[in-house]
A and B are shown apart, each in its own frame.
Chain A
Amino acid sequence: MNPHNLSIEELKQTAAQVRRDIVRMVHAVNSGHPGGSLGCTDYFVSLYFRVMNYSTDFTMDGEGEDLFFLSNGHISPVWYSTLARAGFFEVKELATFRKLDSRLQGHPTTHEGLPGIRIASGSLGQGLSVAIGAAQAKKLNKDNNLVYVLMGDGELEEGQIWEAAMYAPHHKVDNIIATVDRNGQQIDGSTAEVAGLGDLRAKFEAFGWHVLEADGNNFELLLPALDDARAATGKGKPVIILMDTEMGFGVDYMMGSHKWHGVAPNDEQLEKALQQLAVEQASDY
């Protein structure tokens, strides 16, 4: 059971609130990664407010629950806001992001005991392996719940991803739903310019994955895709969603560019962003 199970209209309102949190968090410390966070907001809100089976009474082992891992840890603002809004910790703690003695480190960590986090991430390329390991532990424990993991598309340049991509089909790890945030951007420019990821569907299919594609910034399309992904589990193949998102989605001047990967808005830009991210009943921390 998902503890919230929101309607699409409610998901949209929640996503707008999460996006407000993101821009306010990075603005407050003049650092952090708003672009990818805004792009993946609808995905996070879908998982935590509609799709995943979990309890906000957090346990590290998460037995009897779906698990989520974030491999591209730099988009921590969207995860922190989502976790807080979903009830893992108090929303006001978002104000401590990236500050001294905070549980909300620049990149997610278990080290400070923040509920909802099961592995440190930030150094890229490691999360898929971790998620596959957790999925295999679930199989050993005869726990039928699923493991979700999100990766960036630029992150696919890391070799470890392809070690893991080769391993999971061979071992029939069919209780995992990986997702690639295909926003086409990375720090130094577009993924096409920097490394040329090529045909990701063909690559993952050749490795033996069940591949789905989704629009990550449209709940009407994303939710059915997540349903399709769940339906595809348990059939001998790992599942991966190539999810198209727009970096900076929701804030017009951040969209269509890699420039807002790791840059915070100034005071004026923040005001402009918040005007665009209107919610019926804002509950900013």
Chain B
Amino acid sequence: MKEYTYTEKKDTRSGFGDGLLELGRRNPNVVGLCADLIGSLKMGAFQKEFPERFFQVGIAEANMIGLAAGMTIGGKIPFTGTFANFSTGRVYDQIRQSVAYSGKNVKICASHAGLTLGEDGATHQILEDIGMMKMLPGMTVINPCDYNQTKAATIAIADYEGPVYLRFGRPVVPIFTPADQKFEIGKAVMLNEGTDVSIFATGHLVWKAILAGKILADKGISAEIINIHTIKPLDTEAVLKSVAKTGCVVSAEEHNRIGGLGDSIAQALATSKPAPQEYVAVNDTFGESATPDELMEKYGLTENDIVAAAERAISRK
């Protein structure tokens, strides 16, 4: 098992905020919009440096999506910021008609995704957003794993023409990807080559997959660990290539097991070369109030859950 260490922990949302600031300096067409969550989204530095290109929309997410769609007409590249719940479910129809169907170059940037939002509870812990967004034709869906990758992704999506959903979170998590990484939309990242099981993880579950890989290695199991930061378009080639070697799969995500990364992988396999698959995901339920760690434990999203899933997948080969 390849060694991964970290010296610092940071929230992925800070990667977004720092990436946006850098983008503002690089690209005069980048504009920011926020629905009364500037601090939470870490958009304050961009607002301060580029006040004329920043739009405080207030608690009016539907209006924010429409404004962003309109600003693309005239060549702006709008980055909208609010919690994942209010970035998707609350404004699904606005995104569907004014952004996706209209083919507008809007970047929907969503923080506080999933259970790790913590104590605020299920009203804010969206676990369906990846599913909703990936079902929209033409929508790119990205869920980076740490601060560095979120910053790189934020910068990369400005150069891509088309609607993007960028999902990140609230808690501080280890920074283990390189600061100078090149972020390629739709390109899976190989973290550890293995032969017994393929673990495809996204977002906060990528670090947990690395921890699981160490535990599995101690048990004599060789896990291939792949970071799927782009859920749509899925790097189907990387998925099929890995599973051809290992013969079984674990998918890991901070999302409902219905409609997330696991289902995308299952579809890729089922229509090409089916293989046993185990899901590490929330089992079609809402979350609740507690600390992020307590919730990840209760809802089965820890490294130990990944280990158990890997063993089940291997036993089904």
* Interfacial residues, chain A to chain B (CB-CB below 8 A): 60-63, 67, 69, 109-111, 118-123, 125-138, 140-141, 143, 159-160, 163-164, 166-167, 171
Cβ of B55 and Cβ of A140 under 8 Å apart? no
B101 within 8 A of A: yes
Name B94's contact: one of A118, A126, A132, A167 (CB within 8 Å): A126
Quick one: given A109-B102, A120-B97, A123-B97, are A133 and B62 in contact (CB under 8 Å)? no
Q: How far is the CB of A113 from chain B (nearest CB, A)?
A: 10
Chain A residue contacts of B97, Cβ below 8 A: 120-123, 126
Closest partner residue, chain B, to A129 (CB atom): B66
Name B63's contact: one of A111, A129, A143 (CB within 8 Å): A129
Cβ of B101 and Cβ of A120 under 8 Å apart? yes
Interface residues on B, range: 20 to 34
Quick one: given A109-B102, A126-B94, A140-B52, are A67 and B63 in contact (CB under 8 Å)? no
B65 within 8 A of A: yes
* Interfacial residues, chain B to chain A (CB-CB below 8 A): 31, 52-53, 55, 57-58, 60, 62-76, 78, 93-94, 96-98, 101-104
Q: How far is the CB of A175 from chain B (nearest CB, A)?
A: 12
Q: How far is the CB of B300 from chain A (nearest CB, A)?
A: 37
C-alpha gap A127/B78 in the complex (Å)? 17
Closest partner residue, chain B, to A134 (CB atom): B70
Cβ of B58 and Cβ of A141 under 8 Å apart? no
Quick one: given A119-B102, A140-B76, are A133 and B94 in contact (CB under 8 Å)? no
C-alpha gap A69/B66 in the complex (Å)? 12
Cβ of B62 and Cβ of A111 under 8 Å apart? no
C-alpha gap A60/B73 in the complex (Å)? 6
C-alpha gap A136/B101 in the complex (Å)? 22
Chain B residue contacts of A125, Cβ below 8 A: 62
C-alpha gap A122/B103 in the complex (Å)? 16
Cβ of B93 and Cβ of A123 under 8 Å apart? yes
Cβ of B66 and Cβ of A128 under 8 Å apart? yes
Chain B residue contacts of A164, Cβ below 8 A: 60, 63, 66-67
Cβ of B63 and Cβ of A160 under 8 Å apart? yes
| Given A62-B73, A128-B66; 15 other pairs, CB 8 A cutoff | A61-B73, A61-B74, A62-B74, A63-B74, A110-B102, A119-B70, A119-B102, A123-B96, A129-B98, A130-B69, A132-B70, A133-B68, A140-B52, A143-B74, A167-B57
Chain B residue contacts of A140, Cβ below 8 A: 31, 52-53, 74, 76
C-alpha gap A159/B94 in the complex (Å)? 12
Cβ of B52 and Cβ of A136 under 8 Å apart? no
Chain A residue contacts of B63, Cβ below 8 A: 129, 160, 163-164, 167
Chain B residue contacts of A167, Cβ below 8 A: 57-58, 60, 63, 67
Q: How far is the CB of A30 from chain B (nearest CB, A)?
A: 25
Quick one: given A111-B103, A167-B58, are A132 and B67 in contact (CB under 8 Å)? yes
Could you list 13 A-B pairs, sorted by A, with CB under 8 Å? A62-B74, A119-B69, A120-B101, A126-B97, A126-B98, A129-B70, A133-B70, A133-B71, A133-B72, A137-B73, A163-B58, A166-B58, A167-B63
